[in-house]
Structures are given as C-alpha cells and as structure tokens.
Amino acid sequence: MMLHIPGVLSPEQVAQCRTRLRETDWVDGRQSVGSQGAQVKRNRQLAEGSPLALELGGIVSTALMANPLFFSSVLPLRILPPYFNGYAGGEHYGPHVDGAIRAQRGGAAVRADVSCTVFLSDPDEYDGGELSVADAYGAHDVKLPAGDAIVYPSTSVHQVMPVTRGERLASFLWVQSMVRDDWKRSMLFELDANIQALRAQHGDGPEMVGLTGHYHNLLRMWAET
C-alpha cells in the first residue's frame, strides 16, 4: 500500500530543517548502501549518526509518530533514525529494492517493512526528482509538497529520477511494522478508516463496539511485538 500523508511537518519545522541543512557538509550517499545500490546511487547525505542527523531526525520521527494517519497505516513497532539527502545537478538513485534488515548504531536491527520519504523541498523548486515506485499496476511517480510524506512497502522496486534543476531535499527512513504483511496492514488500515468514519456519523453503539473489537482481535492475531 502506498499512502500520501499530508502535513507531517509544519512549515516552521520544514524551514528549521532546511536552515540547518544549509549549514552542513554532505557525504557521498553511497556510504549507506551495499555494492548493488552503490552502482546506481548518486546523491549526498548527512553522515549517519552525526549530531545534526540525530537532531533533525528527532524532529521527523516525533512528528511521524504523532500523526494518526501514519500510525494507522504503518502500525510501527520500531523506527530507524531518519536519514537526510540532497539531489541536484543530475544526481539520482536508480532502480533498487531497500535492504531487508537495517542496522542502527547502538540499537537493535530493524526489519524494513515500510519505507517513508518526507519531502523538504516544494515541487516547483526543482525539476525531475520524482520518487518512482513500481507495483503490479505499474510505476507511480511521487513529488509532494514540503512537509508531506509518502509511505510504501519496502519490498517495492523504486528509484529517484535525476534532478535537472534546483535541489531536492528530503528525509527518508524505514519502519518495522507490528504487522509484517503489507496486505494485512492494508486491510487493517481500511477497516480502521471506515470505523472512524462511521463513528463520526453515528456515534458509538453496539455495532460500533463490535467492529472495533473485530479490528483489535485481528491486530491481536497478526501483530508481532
């Protein structure tokens, strides 16, 4: 399931991240990938575990975990500290699949179930730079307003198209979900969304209690903690 989550970061938080990113030295983005990814990756990143990456990552991860749409769709169990990258002057990241297990310094390894990109540049600030995610229905090109996020299964083949004008700044991260299977997560998300809509229209009654119990019993059956 791919999902657009608007307004994860406020305009003030976006401005803060962008100001701080202008003050840093980038490293080669190939430092964070294996040999296969290094063949198709050409971009810049904040150094993993650097004080600035941890500072800005705290802003992004806190905002995501406080977002009801993110929590309902992803059902996060563990979230990897966010990374930050920049693309300009033709930089790109060719077709690839994210590694299944992501190590983190000083913490447990995270199984990458869900990938997430939080955009820090508005679409009119750069040409190209679409996040293109492939699934059974074809490729879906994503280019969102600053502060918005996209989540999608980490099993997807995806790429970042070359940036031919301006600069594309973003944060990206991986999440281990309580529910490993993407189809099960999608069903739970749809059920939760419909329960919330029905509750807003009709309030809580016996039927709503039954539906809510059905949701939680499915989650109880499928969740890993």
Tens place of pLDDT per residue across the chain (225 aa): 999 999 999 999 999 999 999 988 899 999 888 777 889 999 999 999 899 999 999 999 999 999 999 999 999 999 999 999 999 999 999 999 999 999 877 778 999 999 999 999 999 999 999 999 999 899 999 999 999 999 999 999 999 999 999 999 999 999 999 999 999 999 999 999 999 999 999 999 999 999 999 999 999 999 999
Q: Model's pTM, two decimal places?
A: 0.95
- Report the number of distinct structural domains present in the chain: 2
What integer pLDDT is reported at residue 106 of this predicted model? 75
Residue 192 is part of which domain span? 182-222
Identify whether residues 119 and 215 lie together within a single domain: no
The answer to whether residues 166 and 202 belong to one domain is no
In terms of domains, do 141 and 202 share one?
Answer: no
For residues 145 and 201, state if they share a domain. Answer: no
What is residue 174's three-state secondary structure? strand
Q: Is the dihedral of CA 180, 82, 100, 94 positive or negative?
A: positive
DSSP state of 9: S
Contact, 177 vs 75, CB < 8 A?
Answer: yes
pLDDT at 14: 98
Q: Are residues 102 and 195 located together in one domain of the fold? A: no
Q: Do 138 and 210 sit in the same domain of this protein?
A: no
Q: Look-up: residue for tokens 């929590």?
A: 71
